[in-house]
Amino acid sequence: MTTFMTVSSPTDWKQLYETVPSEFKESYSRLKRAAEVLTTDPEPEVGLTPKEVIWTKNKTKLYRYVSDQPKKHKLPLLMVYALINKPYILDLTKGNSLVEYLVNQGFDVYLLDWGTPGYEDKNMKLDDYILDYIPRAVRKVLKTSKADECSILGYCMGGTMTSIFAALHPDLPVRNFIFMTSPFDFEDTGLYGSFLDERYFDIDNVVNTLGIIPPEMIDFGNKMLKPITNFYGPYVNLITRADNEKFIKSWKLLQKWVADGIPFPGEAYRQWIRDFYQNNKLIKGELVIRGRKVDLKNIKANVLNLSAERDHIAQPHQVEALMDVISSKDKEYVSIPAGHVSVTFGPKAVKITYPTISGWLAKRSN
């Protein structure tokens, strides 16, 4: 004869729950919290360091970060981000923001935000960003800060674009350049080389068909470099660590940024793939921007070049290659034990990246 337990009241349910092994209770609790994060938790606020818009052009905005603290350094710092994703990765949250850190260290910090391109921007080229936007932003920074010189920090593709700007504008008063996980040599790009091989990837057909490249396409390509880690890893980590609210806060911030992509103007994308990934023109000295050949040896300013040891988007050898071609007498290469994103957000960023940049810049900003 089989006896079934009848559960008819909250007390009965509580008694039954007490018989469940503790490891099952913990697993259920984590799964429940993970479900809340994915369905009902509010999106986190980002980009919280106070700022004001001081210049605009088309969709682009130039921000100046404001602070009650006195400026300790003469030279202002302009940050330039990539044409992919949004630049608030540099100012993700209080206590874990490169922008906030540098502002608190007494730097006069500016950020060039490219904005969100629309279909009407499909003919925008790298030439336009590098020759029309960055120089004007530099002049506006100098005028606003009343400084004679400035520094520029380029992150990811923003650093690659900044290097081209630097090579083509040796006349502009930029004393210091900081390149953070920016690729310069595209000879060996890992899986990107296979994905973008001109025998299989028809860049003209892609651009002519789409006009502007949707962010989902860029994101998918980046994630395919490590598909298991990138597609499933975040959710496995969320479930296994859902009892850690500090982890959940960081998880939500990072996933918000990863999902917050922007379109890539078609003509700029055509150049980026063909001239860099397919033909490696920059490091070879063969890149031409609006009729002008780009020679990286024209860069003579002070340079801090940062790579991330575990970076699979801009691999360390792609980043370090810059050191052999520039003419700078004061140049330093540093490899940070982090990844492409964790170099600027996370414990390693706070402990290593931020002080490295601040310390190097402080010595060269007065």
Alpha-carbon span 273 to 196, nearest angstrom: 7
Q: Which of 110, 104, 111, 98 is nearest to 68 (CA)?
A: 104
160 and 184 in contact (C-beta within 8 Å)? yes
Q: In sequence order, which ranges of 203-293 are alpha helices (DSSP H)?
A: 203-210, 215-223, 227, 233-240, 245-259, 266-271, 281-284
Question: Would strands 212-213 and 302-308 be described as parallel, antiparallel, or unpaired?
Answer: unpaired
CA dihedral sign of residues 48, 305, 131, 327? positive
Which amino acid appears at position 50 of this protein?
Answer: P
Q: Is the dihedral of CA 227, 43, 353, 63 positive or negative?
A: positive
CB neighbours (10 Å) of residue 202? 11
How many other β-carbons are positioned within 10 Å of the β-carbon of residue 298?
14
Q: Which residues are catalytic?
A: 156, 311, 340
- HSE, CB side, 13 Å, CA atoms: give it for residue 233: 8
Q: Is 346 exposed, middle or buried (0-12, 13-18, 19+ CB in 10 A)?
A: middle
Whole-number Å distance between alpha carbons of 194 and 211: 23
Output the CA torsion 170→172→173→179 (10° steps): -60
DSSP string, 273-340: IIIIIIT-HHHHT--EETTEE--GGG--SEEEEEEETT-SSS-HHHHHGGGGT---SSEEEEEESS-T
